[in-house]
A and B are shown apart, each in its own frame.
Chain A
Amino acid sequence: MDELIFFINRVLISGTVLGSIYALGAIGVTLVFGILRFAHFAHGDMMTMGAFTAFVLASAFAAMGFSAPVPIAFIVLPLAMAITALLALGIDKGFYAPLRDRGAKPVTLLIASIGVTLMIQGLIRLIFGSSTRQMYVAGEAKDIFRIDMSWAGGTRPISITEPQVLMFAVTFLAVLALHFFLTRSRLGKAMRAMADNAALAQVSGINTQLVVVVTWVIAGSLACLAGTMLALDVALMPDLAFNIVLPIFAAAIVGGLGHAYGAIVGGFLIAFAETLAVFNWTAVLRPLNTILPEGWALPPNLALVPTEYKLTVAFIILVVTLLVRPTGIFKGAST
């Protein structure tokens, strides 16, 4: 039983946490690609920017003596998401829209997004320094829930932290909301139409400018959500999301760029591939040692790849997907 609990703690929970982050990030990447047709590299730094926005707001609220049973950074999330969405719109107006209007190729926009990445990173470090911070500004403790498993014969509990529970709930709600938006609302349908065929969408009377605005609002607010939840789970640092922007792209590509549901599946796929690849299988299979013949005992470490190559797993999946099936597992660039 302990082996199963170990597996749940080390794979199921941490894989779902990572998967939620990847999925939220990949939705933004994939929507921007579907509507605006370029790979938006600055998305990772938009996540970091969102997390820092939440941090500033939470600090301000804490300074005013505000307190709550959940982390303050979580309470201010809607406000932070709105601000990040506005910042995303501003970035689009300032850097991408002029290039688009000039009819620049997607690759020029890609390079511009690298410029934006560098500017956001530079600014964040100029303002906040490069140290690591805690999102628990009011000094709240990070609650850990321990589910006692003694009824099933386990000696160790299943443990899960408060930000992780919040993250599952928020990711679920965000995905549900996005689903209803894309399938039920007029604007969501317009977005899907534009992702399918921008020219046809325009001639059939869809306000493409509005769709672009909505895309940035969704991408920006989801980026803020993902960044804040990630920072709550680990810590707030200036390269919080720059390091995971490639796994996020891997998730979006595995799911098929432009395909919102694919991005969610891809996010969890990449996350679980990473966690399972570095998982030490001996920890789970150890009971087998009693039935295995003498001299066949399992080696102490039976992980598929060493831990230091964890992120490499995502890159390898990314490269293999691009080579074998560049359209992703769901085929086609439609939402």
Chain B
Amino acid sequence: MNAVAAPRKEPNPVRRAVLLFAAMFVLVVGLGYVQGTASIGLLLVQAFAYALIALGLNIQWGYGGLFNFAIMGFLMVGGASVVFVSFPVNMSFWNSDGPLLLGRALIAFLIGVALVFAARRADRIGIRGRWKTALTVLAWFVAYIIYRSQIDPAAAYIEANAGFVGGLGLHPVLGWVFGGLLAALIAWWMGRICLGLRTDYLAIATIGISEILRALIKNMDWLTRGTAAVAPLPWPTPIPQDFQANGVPIAESFIYARFGFLALLIAVLAVVFVLVQRAYGGPWGRMMRAIRDNHIAAASMGKNVTGRQIELFVLGSVLMGVGGAILVTFNQIFDPSGYQPINHTFLVWVMVIVGGAGNNWGVLIGALLIYIVWVISDPIAQLLFQGLSGWTSAIGWGAIPEIDSRALQMRVFVLGAVIALALRFAPRGLIPERTGEARR
């Protein structure tokens, strides 16, 4: 540190950000040197996909102070959508009675929706109070039975004759868009019913909805093939095998393919980042911060608080759906049983908190940093354990069993420790949000 420099309360955030990004660049290049270019390509694609998801959470939590623990659910929705849109067409389904049966299930579903809707309007014909509640509950129950009576045979038929519905065979990027749209729809519905809740209740409600989504996607074998997993999914960019067919050596084909995908992803991320950043600086962003910091005052200024919050929730969830779809496309496999709240919800939360909620640059660096920490904790823990194991066997205690599976858990501990330390010592993140006087 320069002793002559005037004492300041906070270091210059821009200088700090530049330093952090420079350090990140050095870290990535160093890792690439150690682990090889192909594996750094893998790491970077996943890290940038998580950065997209983290930007989505930053819109919700950073801009609007809305708690969302349903990230896993939105990632799964995005993944299932990209499977549906981009997986090759399953002709044995379309040639069977499956579409017909599904059509009947859809009609049953619509009848159910109409029933519930009608029951909710029962006050128009003079049924009020308790009777209306009872009628609504009854309508839900009848609608459920009607739907089940149609979907169960349809599901059993499809699973027996065609395996699963299959996809539409369209371009994966369309699948990403569809994932975003579907996530938006679910987020809109969630926002309408949940956003009135207090923060901690909202957290529990969203985590509950996320688990419901997971249970549905995992068990609707006719639509998603459930735990049997769907693979391989097509890429929007050439896959390694395409390069190999053109005579590129196997090792280099992975580098080309992954960096090709990375280029597309960075293009998407850059567009989103610019838009999100501009929105933050503009009147829209100011309004959102006003609502976040004092929603009563904002409401008294004539802002539609609930409407704006739903807007934020939907926008953030779109990014999560798209990010989830990109991750599934890149991994080429959709396995609903591979989704865990730790890997998919809490990891993103740590990225946003460590990076700095409300600051997109901070969230970007947080996402990259935390993803790298998450990935490299495993090999480092293995090294540590092997050292420890050598020591224990040298002093006669015997080697440590199951080093591989144990070392994998180190990253869970590291994640927890990072979040606890960050909350304690840097609650505003690596690159804090600039508010009030600090803004130009």
Contact = CB atoms under 8 A, between A and B. Distances in A.
Contact of A112 (B201, B203, B212, B420): B420
A120 B205 CA distance: 24
Given A115-B416, A115-B420, A315-B209, A130 B405 contact: yes
Contact of B402 (A95, A108, A129, A306): A129
Given A119-B417, A129-B405, A309-B215, A106 B208 contact: no
A98 B409 CA distance: 27
A216 interface: no
Contacts, number: 135
Interface string B198-211: 11110111011101
Given A119-B416, A246-B208, A322-B201, A111 B409 contact: no
B405 A115 contact: no
Contacts of A322: 194, 197, 201, 204-205, 208
A324 to B, nearest CB: 9
B29 interface: no
Given A112-B419, A323-B193, A118 B342 contact: yes
Given A130-B409, A312-B211, A323-B194, A122 B416 contact: yes
Nearest to A315: B208
Given A107-B67, A111-B349, A121 B200 contact: no
B333 to A, nearest CB: 22
A227 B338 CA distance: 26
A111 B351 CA distance: 13
Contacts of A99: 423-424
A48 to B, nearest CB: 13
A123 interface: yes
A95 B401 contact: no
Interface string A301-315: 000001011011001
Nearest to A122: B413
Interface in B406-438: 406, 409-420, 423-424, 427
A104 interface: yes
A107 B416 contact: no
A128 to B, nearest CB: 9
Given A306-B219, A315-B211, A107 B419 contact: no
A291 interface: no
Give chain B's interface secondary structure class.
helix
B205 A39 contact: no
B346 A118 contact: yes
A192 to B, nearest CB: 21
B353 interface: yes
A286 B425 CA distance: 64
Interface in A90-124: 95, 98-99, 104-108, 110-112, 114-123
Interface residues of B, number: 43
Given A98-B424, A107-B67, A306-B219, A115 B212 contact: no
Interface in A311-328: 311-312, 315-316, 318-319, 322-323, 326
Contacts of A107: 67, 199-200, 203
Nearest to B353: A111
Contacts of B199: 105-107, 110
A121 to B, nearest CB: 6
Q: How large is the interface on A (under 10, 10 to 19, 20 to 34, 35 or more residues)?
A: 35 or more
Contacts of B216: 312
A22 interface: no
Contact of B419 (A106, A114, A312, A326): A114
B186 to A, nearest CB: 13
B413 A119 contact: yes
A120 B413 CA distance: 7
Residue in B67, B342, B411 whose Cβ sees the most chain A Cβ within 10 Å: B342
B412 A125 contact: yes
Contacts of A253: 201, 204
A110 B423 CA distance: 11
A128 B425 CA distance: 31
A52 interface: no
Contact of A309 (B67, B219, B349): B219
B423 A311 contact: no
A107 B207 CA distance: 14
Contacts of A177: none
A251 to B, nearest CB: 12
Contacts of B218: 308
Contacts of B198: 326
B420 A312 contact: no
A315 to B, nearest CB: 4
A216 to B, nearest CB: 17
Interface of B: 67, 193-194, 197-201, 203-205, 207-209, 211-212, 215-216, 218-219, 342, 346, 349, 353, 401-402, 405-406, 409-420, 423-424, 427
Given A250-B208, A315-B211, A315-B212, 18 more contacts: A106-B199, A106-B200, A108-B427, A116-B416, A118-B342, A118-B412, A119-B417, A119-B420, A121-B416, A122-B410, A122-B411, A125-B409, A125-B412, A308-B218, A309-B215, A311-B215, A319-B193, A323-B194
8 contacts: A106-B199, A112-B420, A115-B420, A118-B415, A119-B420, A130-B402, A131-B402, A316-B208
